[in-house]
């Protein structure tokens, strides 16, 4: 966490799994995570103070949830990341869109991210039918991607099958992590535009 403070955002999941798996040593688990959080807070405090002076509020970790959600949900959005790269106006990330980059530089990343979050939520409310269809397509493409290469497509299908078998094994063994694993596997593909790129979660459950 000290080398990459962003992992602090994921530590709640690790803490939950650790508390479930090591129920007899929960005190030690809490002490370990408590010390890690405290040490991280001390190290990150100069950054948080700088953000307070610059943006008017304490910001301990950089977060761009609003930006990422807007990239995934906006009027010109496509089903997948690859399609977005080929479609004008579909990939609206600041690193690729000049207008977005200028706006973020003008107002600052926190304000820009908050504005994009509001835009994404409003878009979802205005066209829920399209959003539902988009999510369904992404879910299917994530689990069963058609890559245009028969062998690669078959390998991805096999990887998906192995992931589901691994998940079933967790439930059969009543593993404490089964709820967390199920939530990740079911929810991660819903909003992600990387429908045939990110397979790391699959790999985690095929061993």
**Digits of tens for pLDDT over the chain (207 positions)?**
444 555 655 677 678 778 877 878 888 889 988 888 888 888 888 988 888 888 888 887 777 888 888 988 899 888 877 788 888 888 888 988 899 999 999 998 889 999 999 999 999 999 899 888 888 888 888 888 877 789 988 988 888 888 888 889 989 998 877 887 888 777 777 655 544 334 444 444 444
Q: Residue written as tokens 């959005």? A: 77
pLDDT at 3: 47
CB contact at 8 A, 177 and 18: no
pLDDT the model gives residue 192:
56
Which pLDDT value is given to residue 123?
Answer: 92
Closest to 147 (Cα-Cα) out of 139, 138, 155, 159: 155
Does the global pTM surpass 0.85?
no
For 96-111, b/e burial (b = at least 16 CB within 10 A) is: ebeebeeebeeeebbe
The pLDDT assigned to 190 comes to 65
């Amino acid at each position: 966490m000290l080398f990459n403070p962003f992992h602090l955002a994921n530590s709640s999941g690790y803490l939950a799994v650790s508390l479930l798996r090591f129920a007899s040593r929960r005190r030690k688990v809490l002490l370990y995570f408590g010390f890690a959080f405290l040490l991280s807070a001390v190290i990150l405090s100069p950054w948080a103070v700088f953000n307070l002076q610059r943006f008017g509020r304490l910001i301990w970790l950089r977060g761009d949830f609003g930006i990422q959600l807007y990239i995934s949900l906006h009027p010109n959005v496509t089903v997948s990341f690859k399609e977005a790269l080929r479609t004008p106006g579909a990939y609206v990330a600041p690193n690729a869109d000049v207008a977005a980059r200028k706006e973020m530089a003008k107002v600052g990343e926190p304000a820009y991210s908050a504005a994009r979050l509001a835009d994404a939520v409003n878009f979802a409310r205005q066209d829920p039918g399209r959003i539902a269809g988009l999510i369904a397509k992404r879910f299917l493409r994530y689990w069963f991607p058609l890559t245009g290469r028969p062998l690669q497509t078959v390998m991805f299908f096999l990887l998906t099958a192995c992931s589901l078998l691994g998940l079933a094994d967790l439930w059969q063994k009543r593993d404490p992590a089964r709820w967390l694993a199920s939530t990740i596997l079911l929810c991660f593909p819903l909003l992600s535009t990387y429908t045939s790129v990110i397979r790391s979660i699959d790999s985690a459950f095929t061993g």
